[in-house]
Each structure stands twice: as C-alpha cells, then as structure tokens.
Amino acid sequence: MTSIFTSWQMVCALSIYLRKEVIESIMQPIMRWISSLVVCGLFFSLIGGSVGKAETVQTKSDSVIADTSIHLTADAKGEGKPLIHFWSKVVGAGRANEGLRSTWQEELETAGKFDGFQYVRFHGIFQDDMFVYREDEHGNPIYNFQYIDDLYDRMLAKGIRPFVELSFSPGPLAPVHNTTFWWHADGSPPSDYNKWADLVHAFVEHCVQRYGLDEVRQWYFEVWNEPNLYQSFFRGGSQKKYFELYKVTAQTIKKVDPQLRVGGPATSNFNMDGEALKAAKADGKPFDPFTIPWRPVWIDDFLRYCHDNQLPVDFVSTHPYPQDFAIDEPGMPKGKGYRRSIDSTRDDLRTMRRIIDASPYPKAEIHLTEWNSSPSPTDDSHDSLAAATFVAKTNLESIGLVDSLAYWTFADVFEENRNTDSIFHGGFGLINYQEIVKPAFHAYRFMNELGDEVLMQTQGGIVSRDSKTGRISAVAYNYPPETKISPPVTHTQEEADRIDNSGSSRAFILNLDHLPANASFLVETLDKEHGDAITAWEAMGRPEPPNREQTAMLRKLAWNTEKQVVRTDGEGGLHLSMKLPAWSIVLIKQMD
C-alpha cells in the first residue's frame, strides 16, 4: 500500500510539473509580445488603461510604474528593537467540554509546539456538561471541579495556561436556557449575583489551592463573552446588568488575591462610528465605507463605569472581526455586507491603543480574545492559502499595538453551529478534525520562528534576530497589493479557490551582511503547490471522508512546504532574489 501511494505522489508531482512546463511554453511568447507592446506604448490602450496582474501597479502617471517588490536589507550585527510575539500569546477554542477529548488535546499540543501559543481561551467553563454546579433541595450550592481539574491539568502539562472566560450561567442560575449554539449554552445573566459570586470565589480559590498562587497569578480571568449580543449571550440582560456583573466578579476575584488579573468586557464587534456614518448618509448618495472610522463596542462606557466605581481593570478585551456582523447564527442578521479594508484590524488595534492610553487605565493590557477573517464557522476562506497571508500581514504589521490578538480557533474540534459534513467546511481551526494542518497554521509556525529583536521591517517582510543565539530569521509574504480588502466570506470551496488563484506575484530581494561565512539558511515556502492541504485534497478528488491511507497522506502533504538550504558567501553575506506567487509566504531561517 505504501508503494501505491508513493507512486500516486510522484504522478501528482509530475502532473503539476508538466502543467507548469506547458503553461510556461505557451506564456513565454505571449509575454514577449506584451513586453513589445509596452515599449511601443500600446499596452495600456489595448486593455482600456488598466494594469495587468504583473509585478507592477499603475500610479497617478501612466508613464510611471511603481515597484511592488519586497526589499529586506539588514546588518546581522546591527542594533535591534524588541519584538514581542503578541500573536502567539493567546489562541481560542470552542468550549471547555471539547477539551476533554483526545483529538483536541493532541491538536493543542501540536499548536503549542509549532505555533508557540501560551494561553487558550474557550467558552462554557461553568456549562452543565462540565458538572461544576448544582443545588440541593434547599437551594444550597454543590460544587464539583473534577472535569475542570482534568482539563487544566492536561493543558498545563503541555505548557499552555488557561485564559479563563467566566461563562456562562450554570443551569440552576440561568433564567433562560438554550440561548445559542448546538450545545445549548445558557447565555443569560445569573439570576442570583450572590450565588454567582460564591461560585466564582469557590472556583478561583480551588485553582489557587490546586496549582499554587504563583501559577494562578499568571492567568487571566475574563468576565463573560460578548454580553452586547443580548439574544445569544446575555438574554434578558443589558449593559447596566453586565457592568454590575463585572463589578461583583472583579471584586470577588480580588478578594482571593489582589494580584489576580481580571478584565472585560469581551464585546463583539467593532461598528461604524455613528456620527460619521450619519454624516456620510446625509446627502443620500452612496458612500465609501472605507472612509468611515470604526469603534469598539462598550469600551469607553466600560472604562468610565469602572473608574467611577473604583473597580480594577487589569486588561481590556474585545473581538475585532473585520466584518460588519458579529456572529453567524441561524436567524441572526449578517450585517449589510460592508467589506472592510485589509488594514482594518491594524486600524482597530490602533484605535484600542489610543482609547486605553487616554483612559484612567493606561497600564491595562489589551487582549483581543477572538479574531479571524470572519465570525462564520463555515467560511471556506478559513481553510485557504489567502487566510495564511492575511494572518501574517495583519499580525506583522500590527507589532507593538496590543498584548494579544487571539486567533479563533486552533482546532476544528468545534460544535457551535455547522451545516456541512465536509472535512474542509470552512471551520475556524488552524487544524481540521482529522489533524490536517491548514495554511494559516504554517503562517503562525513561520512567525514563531522569528527572534525577539527586529532588525528591519517593511510592508511584506521582516528580518529578526534571536538575542540569545544571534541567529537571524526573516519572513516575507505576498498579500497582493491590488487586493485592498480583508478576505471576504466565501460559501463554497470554489469561491475560496478563486481568491487563491487570483492576484499578482511580487519580487522578493533579501540582503543580509555580517553573518558567519558559509553559514547555512533554510528557505521554506508555503504556496499553492507546497503545504496547502486544500490543493492536496482536491488532487485526490475531495474524498468525503478520506480513508485511513488518504488521511495519512493528506497529513503528510499538508506539511510538505518547499524547502531548500542556501549558504552565505565567503564574506558572510546572504543575497537572495526570488519570485513570491500571490498569497505565498517564505521563511528564511539561520541554521548554524
């Protein structure tokens, strides 16, 4: 059987190579003809003044072509600036009970080992399927933390800490049941805030006793999840009720130990600034949504309330999905379809930074505890190559703004809402249910190889150094410059494929000096033919589900990025020049 699948791999590789050769043989004379037209000044008139998908873009002057190549030049011995890997601080997962399964735990270990995640956040720590809370016939509480102990023990053994989301109401304290999700979350404010406070106190105190105060002081306690979405997560509630819940919860946690970290409001999403939107609509004409600033929900009101009531705020959290809808749930509105800029997340983080810096809590950490290209659990873009480039561009161009931007989620072991049985159904996860890594997983893996000092950065790339070893690493990425929006929601694999097949290539030039002579560097590339699980799955005919042999092959091919080793010259210089196809990412890593 092994020889059969080895032969199958060779056939696929040969077919890709032949297709490439045929395409190049056809395109070479065409490109020579186009080049002659450019020289003659005929090209733009033939295509109506637009610019083709080559390695250049048109500027204001038709006679001037802007260079879109990515240039990275750095001195390996030069002065560096601190680089904090905020992108790998926290990652999301579905709900606590899913963490009791072996597949979830195995995928967490993979994500932690290769992508460097330090904390994981999930819903439902007090959900009834965790058997935490019940009452006797007299209404007295009975606590049981055995399931939580099992979950936390296994996470901590992997070196990954909980970013504790205190949610939702346990059944006996929930005024409304089954407000959202397949697993029947009880998203309503507790009926008795005193009993809620007692539960929180017992839980936190139990964690301190089991894991030690020094350990739990390194955790984060976030009060609730998206309380502004009343129908799903805070039914029967209001902003006032949430602020009261935060007050009770924060004061309870600080009674256990003043150094424990607590924050909120964990709201979703960013909305268009109301006044700016009103002004744009005033004349009744169409307006450009890119010109409207977006604002986080409740953040200003939350900080004002906490200050007025002398409440602690160790961190502020919210969820900046770059779409105009906050949750993908049957019966819930999906917004008006506004497509946000590719820079919208970075701009949202800048807005958060300004708000916190000007607030009474300027030292509060900023944690964006959910983030992805969309809040839809069936968005085929999540499985795509474009998703990986989106991850790299957004994070690397947002350095220094916040303390974490938590990708939602690391695994497709996820049971909120799902209406397809495909192994690649557009789930949030970096790894699918069959433990096949997706392109976005590699984006985090490549970024995890960066050092803790920045030597040089430009749009499209970064050079870093490890302060302990002195070794150099760099990442370059091609989010096509003509693509001005964040990845749109796609509803079929074909829609997602069209995005991956679009866009122009870019030249990438790397020049590094003052390295050891003859030092070896690994050059690893993620592109459509290397490390893209979807391409491999489609080449197999999209088996649903794949058999055991096919699953093993897909797992292997999903790791099959292109790798080559290059060396510095005799004077310690490394000089690379290569073409980056659209949506590709390359890692250059010093090995000795």
Percent of the chain as helix, strand, coil, to the nearest 5: 35, 20, 40
- Cα–Cα distance between 368 and 405 in angstroms, integer? 5
- Cα–Cα distance between 249 and 225 in angstroms, integer? 14
Q: Measured on CA atoms in the order 303, 306, 312, 317, is the torsion positive or negative?
A: negative
512 close to 472: Cβ distance less than 8 angstroms:
yes
120 bridge partner residues: 91, 162
Alpha helices by DSSP H, 217-318: 230-233, 239-256, 274-281, 299-308
The residue to which tokens 């406070």 are assigned: 197
Check residue 131 and report its DSSP letter: T
- Cα–Cα distance between 307 and 193 in angstroms, integer? 21
161 bridge partner residues: 119
**By three-state DSSP, how is residue 82 classified?**
strand
- Cα–Cα distance between 542 and 566 in angstroms, integer? 36
Q: Measured on CA atoms in the order 420, 425, 428, 431, is the torsion positive or negative?
A: positive
**By three-state DSSP, how is residue 541 classified?**
coil
Count of all residues that appear for the chain in the document: 592
Residue 521 in tokens: 């560097």
Helices (H) and strands (E) in the chain, counts: 16, 24
Distance between first and last Cα of the chain: 39
**Ramachandran class of 149: left when φ > 0, alpha when ψ lies in -120 to 50, beta otherwise:** alpha
Which active-site residues does the annotation give? 226, 370
For residue 224, how far is the Cα from the chain centroid? Answer: 21
Residue 518 in tokens: 């003859």
Question: Closest by alpha carbon to 322, among 283, 287, 348, 292?
Answer: 348
